[in-house]
């Protein structure tokens, strides 16, 4: 695999009504919901290793430590960045952060694991 520490990925979104805590049922306010922000950071982590995995492989999320620090209103643009900090076998550890026009929105760490896609999907379908 061509995966080494230092790889960086980015993901960008504009907050829509469907991205709010209210719509996601993770809160009662119409601002960017934490689950959607975490998903944006995972998208950035995936982008960091895009095109570097062997054929038939992908990464799956296995751990998240995240702090959502500030509210972001509908219509605001948010950019997430993930940096690959450590590679331990199949385990990839990232630091992540997200910013909007006012500054830092969230930050944390994520772990993803490299898996063979087909065997992984068979396990998910409980096939043998």
| Catalytic site positions | 34, 42, 68
Cβ contact 99:84 at 8 Å = no
- The Cα–Cα gap between 28 and 113 comes to 33
Q: Are strands 91-100 and 77-88 parallel, antiparallel or unpaired?
A: antiparallel
Closest C-alpha to 96, from 54, 63, 74, 57: 63
Closest C-alpha to 40, from 4, 82, 11, 8: 11
């Amino acid at each position: 695999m061509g995966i080494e520490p230092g790889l960086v990925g980015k993901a960008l979104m504009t907050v829509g009504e469907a991205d709010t805590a209210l719509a996601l049922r993770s809160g009662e306010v119409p601002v960017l919901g934490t689950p959607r922000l975490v998903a944006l950071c995972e998208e950035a982590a995936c982008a960091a290793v895009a095109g570097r995995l062997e054929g038939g492989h992908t990464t799956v999320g296995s751990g998240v430590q995240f702090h959502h620090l500030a509210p972001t209103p509908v219509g605001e643009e948010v950019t997430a960045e993930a940096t690959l900090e450590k590679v331990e076998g199949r385990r990839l550890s990232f630091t992540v952060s997200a910013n909007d026009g006012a500054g830092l929105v969230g930050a944390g760490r994520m772990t993803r694991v490299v898996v063979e896609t087909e065997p992984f999907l068979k396990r998910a379908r409980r096939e043998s």
